[in-house]
Chain A
Amino acid sequence: MATVSLRDLLFSSLLSKVFLPPRAGIYFGPIRSRSIGYRRNFFPLKSCGERKLSTTHSSEAKCWRGDYAQLEKADIEALAKLADVSKPTALPSKRSETSSVCITSADQLRSYNTDWTGQFHGNSQLCLRPSNAEAVAAILSYCNQKKLAVTPQGGNTGLVGGSVPVFDEIILSMSRMNRILEMDEEHGIVTVEAGVPLSRVDSFCRERGFSFPLDLGAKDSCQIGGNLATNAGGSRYIRYGSLHGTVLGLEVVLADGTVLDLGSGKRIRKDNTGYDLKHLFIGSEGTLGVITKATFACYPAPLGTQAAFVGITGDFARVRHWLLDARRDLAEHLRAFEVMDAEAMMLHRSYSRGFRDPFREPHSFYILIETSTGITAERAASTPLETWLEKMIRSHERSDVIIAQDLTQSAQFWQLRESLPEMVRQSGPSVLKYDLSLPLTVFYDIVEVTRERLRQEALDAHVYAWGHVADGNLHLNISGTAPKAILHAALEPWLYEWTLQHGGSCSAEHGIGLLKSHLLARSKGTVTLGIMERLKAVMDPNGILNPYKLFKTCSRAE
């Protein structure tokens, strides 16, 4: 378990520009590690204390509170009643001890008001946890009439501040809508409510011999609704593609309380009848509607999977050769291809308890490859992965390969890759995270130029890189003792400009949220942005759904 040092507390208070001593106390954030029978890692978030946040201006969002109503006592009572429409839930939510519908105590609200990275703190006075779509509709209808702002929230594991309020928006938590409604094994279709944690759907499908098309490191805490609202990518993207392709139907509640059935529960795959509206909501980050139900296509799980961990010495061009070859020789067998660099492995050496170096000597890059095995002849000499790996190491001398012999070893390889966000969080008081899409030709160049830039500015910070390289998705993390504001000033907007110039995206899978709202215009251009804003105005005229996120709105109070 990581401990919060005095330096951490001091930095967090300095950087947030609030000169109040932080309250002595730590609390635990959501669980983010993939675990099979391993002890889960709880990571304390930085204490935010009983700070008096300004109620009209947010330094984090750099804007003023919008023209929304103030939450009155009468509103709280009315909403509590609306949220408590009686329909039984299958399981109590893991996140709080009580399964209450309406939360108003500051203590309990703290974890809802703070995001996973500890950067963003809201000041919501009310969290509603309805258990069905009718209750959600009633709540939104009321809030729309009264012009009360609402922030929908799932597992609160987002990394761009999109899941927590900026001011006093009402938090609409989907945690109690956690039933898996239906699994149709013949059609390979599963229907779930939006508050189901991803790991539960994943194991549900696996038990029935199916593979859910989505998998993330945060699977134990993140919820399906949030995954959809952010169009989550993850490590199975290479095999099953984007959620836009694997979602068959949604049920969404609009800002005015209309329950929109966009094909949830349907058992057919192809349906070209009019504009396919569900795609609007996937990736909309809770600004166009609240997703309450989703139907996914899931695929029969492969008979077996095999994982290998490869260490490569040399430059990034070798990784590209390996990727190209893997795609060609392994074809549909390839299920995952993840990369991490030497610095990221050093994170493990420094911060991972009981870390075991997989290889005798350090390498420049490490690749995790997972393949599926279909039906094979009995006593087949080698699996496709082994045959391909034998071919690869014959032509690449300075590479080491280990092959997992059982599921526990596969899980250990995955742990090396998926626990990196937690390792980097422990590594330094200042952590900057970037999630970029880049063409493979310049994939690692950005890491090297970032290191060079930090060296030129003589800043004490390390650059760690890992990612879903097969999708061109780089997770660039900078951490060190240099103050965060200074690192920020040194790297932005230069890093984003570099990415855009080289044809990349500033946010591959994490989304825009609050953190990157200033980049939307730069990324998409004013014309496209204009159409997005018009669409938002049509769907949510009062602007009550997750305000201040996505679009850089900056209204001033009169």
Chain B
Amino acid sequence: MSVPTLRILVGVKRVVDYAVKVRVKPDHSAVETANLKTSMNPFCELAVEAAVQLRERLGAERVAEVVAASIGPAANQETLRTALAMGADRAVLVSTDNASAAANSPSLESEPLGVARALAAMQSRLNANLIILGKQAIDDDANQTGQLLAGILNWSQATFLSKIEFEEQSDWLQVDREVDEGIERLRLRLPCVLTCDLRLNQPRYVTLPNLMRAKTKPIETRTPSELGVTLNPHWMITRVDEPPSRRQVTMLRNVDELVAKLRQLGVLNRS
């Protein structure tokens, strides 16, 4: 049986840059994002890098194409350009620009269910058999899109990955998942959804020749209705607050003090 070629779909999200300090709006309705520098979600960078490395490792015959997709306004083209410069072959933007006013709430792009549905629609258009996403976005920390997508498509999923390896000439993968207890090793089969965690790889720097090449690679724009998807908000954010400031730290001088303190807090039983 011939080994199926891989058609990889990578989802990328544009978020407020990781290094920027965000503030809560005075009316506590949302985080202030106006005029802040945005860039690709760091976990999405890992996903793009993973897809490009797969093609480098398995060869161009095995990997037919790597497509980057993003759901959001026209500004997301910047993020897709980075994905193209890192090695994706082409990109698709699912544009939310002309969505109706009511639907254009701040959470529209964020909601994982809508994104998962859009990506599922993309998958059927592209006939992708491997979808790689970042484990979560740094603005909402939702950590849901990959899992929802696998459910919608009824595919296998492996999340929080720190290693991805294909078995020799096979459509089975061996992956390492980062879980609370340590590393979990799984074996799963195409088609599947993978989400990436920090230790998977180190995203490459974009070289200028690649950036120039990326400008010739196509970025298609599609609307949600073209894909047969409606992005209706399901959430309403009632209030956003900063986390409470940390309590005073007490320095203890020795183990006796530590034990006394723990007893005082009722953590240690007298035994």
Contact = CB atoms under 8 A, between A and B. Distances in A.
Q: Is the interface of A mostly helix, strand, loop or mixed?
A: mixed
Contact of A406 (B40, B208, B211): B40
B211 A403 contact: yes
A308 to B, nearest CB: 8
B39 A393 contact: no
Given A405-B39, A405-B82, A407-B39, A393 B19 contact: no
Contact of B205 (A36, A379, A402): A402
Contacts of B77: 379
B42 A393 contact: no
B19 A407 contact: yes
Nearest to B85: A405
B40 A400 contact: no
Interface string B1-38: 00000000000000001111100000000000001010
Given A379-B74, A408-B19, A402 B40 contact: no
A393 B20 CA distance: 31
- Sort chain B's interface into a size bin: 20 to 34
A315 to B, nearest CB: 22
Given A401-B207, A407-B17, A304 B212 contact: no
Interface string A372-403: 00000011011000100110010000001111
Contacts of A358: 205
B221 to A, nearest CB: 12
Contacts of A37: 18-19
B253 to A, nearest CB: 14
A211 B55 CA distance: 43
A393 B37 contact: no
Contacts, number: 61
A409 interface: yes
A356 interface: yes
A401 B19 CA distance: 23
B211 A407 contact: no
B263 interface: no
Contacts of A36: 19
A411 interface: yes
Given A37-B19, A408-B19, A381 B207 contact: no
B77 to A, nearest CB: 7
Contacts of A409: 205
A406 B212 contact: no
Interface string A407-418: 111010000000
Interface string B191-230: 0000000000010011111011001000000000000000
Nearest to B21: A207
A226 B257 CA distance: 42
Contacts of B208: 308, 386, 389-390, 393, 401-403
Interface in A31-88: 36-37
8 contacts: A37-B18, A386-B211, A393-B208, A393-B209, A401-B208, A407-B17, A407-B20, A407-B39
Closest 7 CB pairs of A and B: A406-B39, A407-B19, A401-B208, A402-B205, A407-B17, A405-B82, A36-B19
